[in-house]
Structure 1
Amino acid sequence: MSPASDQTAQHDGTKAAMGGLVLCPLDLDQPGLKILDSGTGDGYWLQDLLATFPRLRDGTLVGTDVTAAKFPENGVQPPISLQIQSITQPWPPEWKHSFDLVHQRLVLGACGNFPYETAIRNLAKLVKPGGWIQLVEPDQTCGVQDGPAMRDFIALVTWVFERMGGHARYAYHVKQWLQDAGVVDVEERSIPNFLGALVPDADLARRTARWTADAMMPLLKYTQAYDGPTPIPRKELQTLVLRLHEELLTRGGLYPLRVLYGRMPLTQEQESVD
C-alpha cells in the first residue's frame, strides 16, 4: 500500500471518522471472500483493506470505476483487480449474487439524472444471500460551529448537485432504498467527520484541509461554464479555495457522513441448514 499523502486524505479521514473500513458484521478473516469496491478510484480502499486483513489474499477483491483515469499506471497485484464499470450501466450478469461484500463510498451522488434507487437496487443484486452491502454518503449539512467558507462549500456542493439533476440530501433516503431492494437488517449511522484543525492527528488535519479545499476546483470550473446566477457571488467564488483552506487549518470543519449497511436474506434452503 502506498504511503499516506494528500491524495489519500479523504480515505484516511473517512476511515478515522468511521473507526475502520467496514462497519457491517462480516468476518473479514474468512478465507475465500469476494469483495466489490464500486467507485474505487485508484483502488486504495481495497489495498488498505488487504493490508488490514491479510487473509483476504485467499479471496477476490474487485474494484470498479466509471473510467480508468485513476487506476495505477503499473497496475495492481492479485487478489485485487480493477475494471471500468459505471453504476448507471448494467453489471456483468455473472456477478449477480456473487459478492460477500459490496462497498461503495461517496459515489451515489454521481448518478445525476439516473435514479439513485435503481443504482442501489442493481448493487444489491450483486450481493450473495447472506452477504452484506455497505454504503457511505455525505450528510450534506453544516456543523453548528462551521465557518463562512465551510458554509459556502456546502452551498456550492448543494447547488451543483441540483444543477446536475440530483438532490443533495439523497442520503436520507438510502435506508428506504436499501430496504426496497430487499436488503434486511439495515443499520444507519450518522458519523461526525471532522476536517482540518478539529482532527486530533496533526498530519491528517493538514491533509484533510488541503484535500477538501482542492476538491472545490472541479466545482468552480462548473460555475465558470455556467452563465446564470450562482449561489455565491462570483467574486467570493474566486477566493473560496484559499478561504476554505485557511479556515480549515485554523478553525476546522464538520462534514458529517451517513454509513448504511445491511445483508441480503438467506434462501429458505440456507436458513433450514443453519
Structure 2
Amino acid sequence: MGTTSDQTAQHEGSKAAMGGLIVCPVDLDRPGLRVLDSGTGDGYWLQDLLGTYPRLVDGTLVGTDVTAAKFPKHGAPQPISLQIQSITQPWPSEWKHSFDLVHQRLVLGACGSFPHATAVRNLAELVKPGGWIQLIEPDQTCGIQDGPAMRDFIKLVTWVFERMGGHARYAYDVKRWLLDAGVVDVEERSVPNYLGARVPDADLARRTARWTADAMMPLLKYTEGHDGPIPIPREDLQTLVPRLHEELLERGGFYPLRVIYGRVPLAKE
C-alpha cells in the first residue's frame, strides 16, 4: 500500500467517514506513547497518525501483519517498526500490557475458524491499564440505493465468511467480546462509509470504486475450488469485478463500518 496507490483508498475513505483516524478519547499528545497497529499493511496508518500527532515521534509505533509482502523495502520511517505477526498466533509476551493504544481495522474477518473472541481478547491483553483499544470492522449490509453488483458483493462476502467458519455480521459481537475481555467504557457506533460516485471528492470516488472492485479478486479465487452451490451464478461471478467497478463509478455504494472502542481499567478500578 503506497501513499499514491488506489489501495490507500480504503484508508482515506475510512478516515473521511470517521472524521479522523481515532474515535476513542486517547491522549496522543503525551510523550513516550506506545501504539500498535495490527494488520498494518505497509504501515501507512501509522505514518498518517504520526503526521497528525507529531509528538508521537518520541514514542514507539509498531505495525504488524501476517506477511511482510507490503512492508517498505527500505524500512519504515522512525519511530515506526514493522514485524510479522498473525492475530491467530500468540503475541510476544513482553508486549502484554504495554501499549497505550491498540488499533486494528478490517482484520478480524481473516480469522477464519480461529475464534474471533480469542483474537479480540489477545489484542486487549496488549493494552496497558488505562490504555485504549479501537477496532473497526465492516457492517456487511447494503444501502437501499445500492445496485445489483454491490448486492452480489455482500452475498459473496457473506458466503465466504460462512465457508471459512465464521459469519458476516461478527462486527455486532465485538462489543461483547471486549466486555468479556475485561475492557470497560466500551462504546460502538455505526459509521456511514460511501464508495464511488457517492463520495464527494472526485479523485477519492474513483479510487474507492477501483479498490473495492479489485478487492473482489481474492474472493473470486476462493470460489474456484468449490464444487457446491454458490449464492451467485457462475456467469455473474465472472463479470463481478467490472460490473461492480462500473456500478460504483455510476451510482456509488454504501458500506458502513462499525467502530468499537474501550479502555483497559486501572488496577484500582
Using the size of structure 2 for normalisation, the TM-score is 0.98
Matched, 1:158 2:154: no
Query: Which residue identity lines up with residue 111 of structure 2 in the other structure?
Result: C
Aligned-pair identity in percent equals 83
Q: Secondary structure of the residue that 1:236 maps to in structure 2?
A: helix
Aligned residue type for 1:159:
W
**Cα offsets for 1:58-113 (capped at 9, x unmatched):** 00000001111111111112210000111011110000100000000000111111
Shift in Å at residue 4 of structure 1?
A: 3.4
Between the aligned partners of 1:190 and 1:77, the Cα distance in structure 2 is 33
Q: Is the deviation greater in 2-11 or in 37-46?
A: 2-11
For 2:76 and 2:208, the matched residues in 1 are separated by 26
Matches of 1:135 and 1:3 in 2, distance apart? 23
Identify if the C-alpha distance between structure 1 residues 113 and 24 changes in structure 2 by more than 3 Å, giving closer, same or farther: same
Partner of 2:253: 253
Q: Specify the alignment match of 1:138 in structure 2.
A: 138
Pairwise CA RMSD = 1.1
User: Where does the alignment leave 5 or more consecutive residues of structure 1 unmatched?
Assistant: none
| Structure-2 separation of matches of 1:2 and 1:80 | 16
Tell me the distance in 2 between the aligned counterparts of 1:96 and 1:187: 23
The AA in structure 2 aligned to 1:51 is: G
* Matched residue type, 1:134: Q
| Equivalent position amino acid for 1:98 in 2 | S
Q: Which amino acid aligns with 1:235?
A: E
CA distance in 1, matches of 2:198, 2:178: 32
Tell me the equivalent position of 1:50.
Answer: 50
State the distance in 2 between where 1:137 and 1:63 align. 18
Q: For the residues of structure 2 that align with 1:262 and 1:3, how far apart are their CA atoms?
A: 30
Q: Does structure 1 conserve the Cα–Cα contact (< 8 Å) formed by 2:3 and 2:44? A: no
For the structure 1 residues 50 and 119, does the alpha-carbon distance in structure 2 shift closer, same or farther, using more than 3 Å as the test? same
Shift of 1:3: 3.8
8 Å contact from structure 2 (residues 102, 133) kept in 1: yes
Deviates more, 1:94-103 or 1:5-14: 5-14
Please state whether the residue corresponding to 1:68 is helix, strand or coil.
coil
Residue 130 of structure 2 contacts residue 265 of structure 2 at CA under 8 Å; is this kept in 1? Answer: yes
Aligned residue number for residue 189 of structure 1? 189
5+ residue gaps, structure 2: none
Give, in angstroms, the shift of residue 144 of structure 1: 1.1
Residue 79 in structure 1 maps to residue 79 in structure 2: yes
Identify the residue that residue 89 of structure 1 maps to in structure 2. 89
Q: How does 1:210-249 map to 2 (within 5 A)?
A: 210-249=210-249
> TM-score scaled to structure 1, two decimals?
0.96
Residue 112 (structure 1) aligns with: 112
1:246 aligned counterpart, secondary structure? helix
**Residue matched to 2:127:** 127
Following TM superposition, the consecutive aligned residue runs of length 4 or more in structure 1 with deviations greater than 2 angstroms are 1-5
Report SS of the residue matched to 1:140: coil
Letter aligned with residue 210 of structure 1: R
C-alpha spacing 1:116/1:2, structure 2 compared with 1 (3 Å): closer
Partner of 1:263: 263
